[in-house]
Amino acid sequence: MKFETRAIHDGQSADPATGAVTIPVFQTSTYQQDGIGKPRGYEYSRTGNPTRHALEEALASLESGKHGLAFASGVAATTAVLQLLRPGDHVLAGDDIYGGTYRLLEKVYSPWGLHVDYVDTTDPNAFAAAVLPNTKLIWVETPTNPLLKIADIAALAGVAKQAGALLAVDNTFASPWFQRPLELGAHIVVHSTTKYLGGHSDVVGGAVITSLDDEFNDLKFYQNAAGAIPGPWDCWLILRGLKTLAVRMREHERNAKHLALILEKHPAVKRVFYPGLATHPQHELAAKQMSGFGGMISLELNGGFEAVEQFVARLKIFILGESLGGVESLVCYPPRMTHSSFPAKERHRRGIHDNLVRLSVGIENVDDLEQDLRNALG
Ligand SMILES: *Cc1c(COP(=O)(O)O)cnc(C)c1O
């Protein structure tokens, strides 16, 4: 079956007890057992819950994976993947990553004993050159947050194979509608389901998808043992979001493409980062490994922080806020918001300058969005 059909049906067949067409919210902590040692499939909701199970099956299907696991947040999902490693292991991470992932690596897992090196996301050879005998994990986002750089997933899968390491891809920005890393050779996909998968800015969640049985068993063990699970309501909201993922992503992209072209020509704009633009340095790679370019745009304004402050203050439809991927358009200032956990020096070294703004283009009417940006740019 095709993606749009699976998004609505996989893991979500009608409830056998009642015929309910939507998966019920199983708001229960425990389950009656038929006798000692005779549970009916569920025992305790940290370990398993039918609403969560439906979400996990749907997520696995959409990412072309065998197994899915839902977590309480994107960083909880990332944590689960890092728990596959042991103190002394080495991680190669892309240099442009979500601030919270950087914080987790630097402030939680480095003290715990992981060694982390950051490598130019766009250069698979640089990853190959940085591999050490104890390298166990390559971690990238693509497109990256916030500079929309593209990592060559198939090439990195080759590097990981050579190194005997796992390749994990944070697919939050693309969503499985536009990019399926497992099909390109990645071992693990991670999502902040808070973003496009939930899609309505009303829930926080995360997910890990893999086709590897051993890693799945370890991840599932950790999910139950450490307990960072989402509640049934949150799973239900994300499931509802998934059903319209394809429709929403088409609109996000259509709007973003239109606005990126306009921003690129605007005199108040210094530079636009959007993989769908022919001028994006990795446009061809993006076109090869993605079926579309998504709804995220970053831009540098002419001027410094004052220009950004003025721009943001003049916007009427784009809402100033963290997060992304919801139906409403958002504007974010990465240096002080999503990427404030990078020290200033590291931020600048990575190309996140004080005139950078990130847009999550929503699915409002594009004429209104264009007008809003034009007004704010003056
Ligand atoms: C938001 C985000 C995360 C973290 O997810 P939470 O749900 O906020 O914990 C991880 N990666 C990317 C790319 C994100 O945008």
Domains, the chain, with CATH or none: 3-243 (3.40.640.10), 247-377 (3.90.1150.10)
Between residues 101 and 350, the one the model is more confident about: 101
Per-residue pLDDT band for 342 (boundaries 50, 70, 90) equals confident
Instruction: Give the pLDDT confidence score for residue 288 in this predicted structure.
Output: 98
* 103 assigned to active site: no
Amino acid at 202: D
Per-residue pLDDT band for 135 (boundaries 50, 70, 90) equals very high
Amino acid at 63: E
Average pLDDT (17-41) is 96
| Residue located nearest, by CA, to atom 4 of ligand 1 | 74
Instruction: Give the pLDDT confidence score for residue 203 in this predicted structure.
Output: 98
Per-residue pLDDT band for 105 (boundaries 50, 70, 90) equals very high
Instruction: Give the pLDDT confidence score for residue 46 in this predicted structure.
Output: 98
* 38 assigned to active site: no
Per-residue pLDDT band for 341 (boundaries 50, 70, 90) equals confident
Model-wide pTM > 0.95: yes
Which protein residues are within 6 Å of ligand 1, measured from CB?
A: 73-75, 98, 100-101, 141, 145, 170, 172-173, 192, 194-195, 204, 206
Asked whether the beta carbons of 248 and 362 are under 8 A apart, the reply is no
Mutational test site, ligand 1, from 59, 71, 73, 75, max ligand atoms within 8 Å of CB: 75
Q: How many residues does the chain have?
A: 378
* 46 assigned to active site: yes
| Residue located nearest, by CA, to atom 5 of ligand 1 | 74
Q: List the alpha helices (DSSP H) in the chain.
A: 3-9, 50-62, 74-82, 99-103, 110-112, 124-130, 153-163, 175-178, 213-226, 232-243, 245-265, 283-289, 305-314, 344-349, 366-377
- Give me the percent of the chain exceeding a pLDDT of 70: 100
Residues in Cβ contact with 215 at an 8 Å cutoff, skipping those fewer than 6 apart: 84, 166, 187, 188
* 161 assigned to active site: no
Ligand 1, atom nearest to 78 Cα: 10
Which residue among 52, 195, 248, 347 is the active-site one? 195
Question: What would the pLDDT profile of 69-100 be if each residue is shown by its tens digit?
Answer: 999 999 999 999 999 999 999 999 999 999 99
Q: For residue 51, which phi and psi values (nearest 5 degrees)?
A: -65, -45
